[in-house]
Structure 1
Amino acid sequence: MTQRGADVLSAKPVIVLAPMEGLVDPPMRDILTRIGGIDWCVSEFIRVTTGLLNRGTIQRIVPELSQGWKTRTGVPVRPQLLGSDVRWMGENAALLASMGAPAIDLNFGCPAKTVNRHRGGASLLREPELLQQIVASVRAATPAHIPVTAKMRLGYSDTAQTLECAAALAAGGASEITVHARTKMDGYKPPAHWHWLARIRESVEVPVIANGDVWTPEDYHRIREVSGCQQVMIGRGLVRRPDLARQIRGLDGADAEMAPWPTLLPWIADFFEQTRARVVDRHAPGRLKQWLSMLGLTYPEAKPVFAALRRENDAEAISACLADLAAGEDQARTLLALPSASALGAA
């Protein structure tokens, strides 16, 4: 290990929960921050077109604003803006600042086709001058004590402008830059190119936050060593392994293994009830199934639950099932009692 790597690994962990549209929403932020180990979060993006946002839109995406922009356990949530209109990105940043936002984050990394078709997210990585103008507008419109941060990828289709884009964000006034170590065209295909994180960090004079393919505590230590970054942002890794931040911090003992499956069941039930409170019942099962599918990549015990609920769309039946599981009822018997749980036998 290099001396630089040893110095980085000895620094206090800073773990950030990533913004992921349609995945890391307010109920997920609440659950993951209550499980513990996360320093701060970034919200799903708030889309800016022309004109000022209304409070209802902001409140829907970041309900934590009514709690001082913190989750119920006191973890700060930074709102994230997405858009390409220089003036209105600044105006809306000022609005968020007036509402007490702890920082303003800017999205230059979203790979979604619908976002990129409308000149948002990672599509702007083809326009470094515009990146700088947007950040400068937001910085000028925001009180000096409120950080302006930005998230980028390595580029749109290649890395030809990677360093230029990072320099543009820093020159515009970004106080931190989070880098997802893939291009837009890479999507989420492995591997994440961690060596680029070190190149970017060495090319700018502001802190760089490492992001991409952190699934285990070992990944966390390796990305810090390779990148030289002291802060790490994690998204899908925390969704698949909800106690990952606790493990990284050693909160459950140096040799602790993943949280046992039964201990996650009350959290899953809680997540579903929070989701039902936010959306109509016909949409709530989809969010639960999405999480169970991802948990199944880490916890084999999640697979039969997902299989049993796959065709179940009765939110009341699902709630009752999850409540029984959380209370310690036999999993197989509980799932087989569902009207559409015949899939369990084939799981």
Structure 2
Amino acid sequence: MKHAVILAPMEGLVDAPLRDILTRIGGIDRCVSEFIRVTDGPLNTGTIRRIVPESLHDWKTAAGVPVHPQLLGSDPDWLAHNAALLAELGAPAVDLNFGCPAKTVNRHRGGATLLREPDTLYQIVAAVRAATPAAIPVTAKMRLGYSDTSLTLECASALADAGAAEIAVHARTKVEGYKPPAHWEWLARVRESVAVPVVANGDVTSLDDYQEIRRVSGCEQVMIGRGLVARPGLAHCIRTTEQGMAGADLSWTELQPWLLDFYRQVRERVADRHAPGRCKQWLGFLAQHYPQAQALFDVVRRQTCAEELQVMLAQDRQLLAIQRGEPRLQLNEIVEAR
């Protein structure tokens, strides 16, 4: 789809519940899953189903948005073997992670550390391409490099020459992490150096950012991660604007039911001891755009009981007070108000 918005893979953040919520809000054309780590053996099908439960539903979210599984590793043979398994399970594409900046991942020779080895990038993509049916695209995500941009174009060419059908580029090096600014001008250089589509990624947090990254990069597709987590209505705003209509953000009132639905799904997937932290994590992102989210976070930040947090989230009295800027209820008042 022209001008497609792609939901970025973000380990430990953009999981199945959040993919479900964000794609039902609308405007997202494709998702890439959290990475599935490949070491020195075959993947267990249960692991794939756990990380990408959409694989049980034709690899689509409830809103019908495709989810492409992503593999992370450094062994060409085992990556190829497991890519073939994904193909057998009906995956619509196989994405390869060469962009993760996490220290633990890089220490185990995965993610962005491989950007220092263009030959290895070529070997991995070529092996995966050879192991999967031609009808299933093999795609890749990279950064501009590990510590500098000296190998950026060589890495992009290695991926394309080995058979990658598309390359998503986060416009920073591994060392830069998420430190602003993203170098959008480099996206144009990468796009001009390869004969496959390049997806622009990095620091898109508003409609203006989306329009500017497309202008500077020349890319038709944009991948958004943190910007969509903090502003869940951003993709819908982009789509309606592209269709010639006025795009509008979600109000906090409109977002509240989605937050409650998200937390319900989280509790179905993880142990109760982990669920509150997952909810607070999203509230922390939402607070970047919604003052009400910060106010709600302040109320629930010390709550560790999953059930009590659900009660607190569902308290209309408390939520309305936050919206109106009224004095916040104390925890004991909230519990007593059930």
> TM over 0.5, yes or no?
yes
Among 221, 235, 238, the alignment partner of 2:211 is 221
Matched residues in 1 for 2:135 and 2:199: separation?
A: 20
Q: Displacement, 1:238? A: 0.3
Aligned length: 332
Residue type of the alignment partner of 1:43: S
Q: Displacement, 1:75? A: 0.3
Matched residues in 1 for 2:328 and 2:11: separation?
A: 30
Among 280, 287, 291, the alignment partner of 2:271 is 280
Matched residues in 2 for 1:217 and 1:196: separation?
A: 21
**Residue 138 of structure 1 aligns with which residue?**
128
Deviations 1:22-42 (A, max 9, x none): 110100000000000000000
Matched residues in 1 for 2:5 and 2:52: separation?
A: 20
- The SS at the match of 2:68 is strand
Is 1:306 the equivalent of 2:297? Answer: yes
Q: Displacement, 1:13? A: 2.1
Matched residues in 2 for 1:140 and 1:127: separation?
A: 20
Residue type of the alignment partner of 1:296: A
Is 1:259 the equivalent of 2:247? Answer: no
Matches within 5 A, 1:173-322: 173-250=163-240, 254-322=245-313
Deviations 1:177-216 (A, max 9, x none): 0000000000000000000000000000000000000000
Indicate how the Cα distance of structure 1 residues 22 and 45 shifts in structure 2: closer, same or farther if over 3 A, else same. Answer: same
Q: Displacement, 1:256? A: 3.9
- The SS at the match of 1:182 is strand
Residue type of the alignment partner of 1:188: Y
Indicate how the Cα distance of structure 1 residues 186 and 73 shifts in structure 2: closer, same or farther if over 3 A, else same. Answer: same
Matches within 5 A, 1:143-154: 143-154=133-144
Is 1:162 the equivalent of 2:152? Answer: yes
**Residue 59 of structure 1 aligns with which residue?**
49
- The SS at the match of 1:181 is strand
Maintained 8 Å contact 1:15/1:234: yes
Maintained 8 Å contact 2:318/2:329: no
Matched residues in 2 for 1:204 and 1:310: separation?
A: 47
Indicate how the Cα distance of structure 1 residues 198 and 253 shifts in structure 2: closer, same or farther if over 3 A, else same. Answer: closer
Indicate how the Cα distance of structure 1 residues 190 and 229 shifts in structure 2: closer, same or farther if over 3 A, else same. Answer: same
Q: Displacement, 1:254? A: 3.5
Deviations 1:151-170 (A, max 9, x none): 00000000000000000000
Residue type of the alignment partner of 2:122: Q
Maintained 8 Å contact 2:207/2:234: yes
**Residue 103 of structure 2 aligns with which residue?**
113
- The SS at the match of 2:314 is helix
Q: Displacement, 1:60? A: 0.6
Maintained 8 Å contact 1:311/1:340: no
Unpaired stretches in structure 2, ≥5 consecutive residues: none
Maintained 8 Å contact 1:136/1:172: yes
The percentage of counterpart residues that share the same residue type is: 65
Is 1:336 the equivalent of 2:329? Answer: yes
**Residue 83 of structure 1 aligns with which residue?**
73
Among 10, 17, 24, the alignment partner of 1:20 is 10
Is 1:101 the equivalent of 2:91? Answer: yes
Maintained 8 Å contact 1:238/1:245: yes
Q: Displacement, 1:250? A: 1.5
TM-score (norm 2): 0.94
Residue type of the alignment partner of 2:142: M
Indicate how the Cα distance of structure 1 residues 330 and 184 shifts in structure 2: closer, same or farther if over 3 A, else same. Answer: same
Deviations 1:222-252 (A, max 9, x none): 0001000000000000000000001111269
Q: Displacement, 1:340? A: 9.7
Q: Displacement, 1:318? A: 1.1
**Residue 26 of structure 2 aligns with which residue?**
36
Maintained 8 Å contact 1:265/1:325: no
- The SS at the match of 1:46 is strand
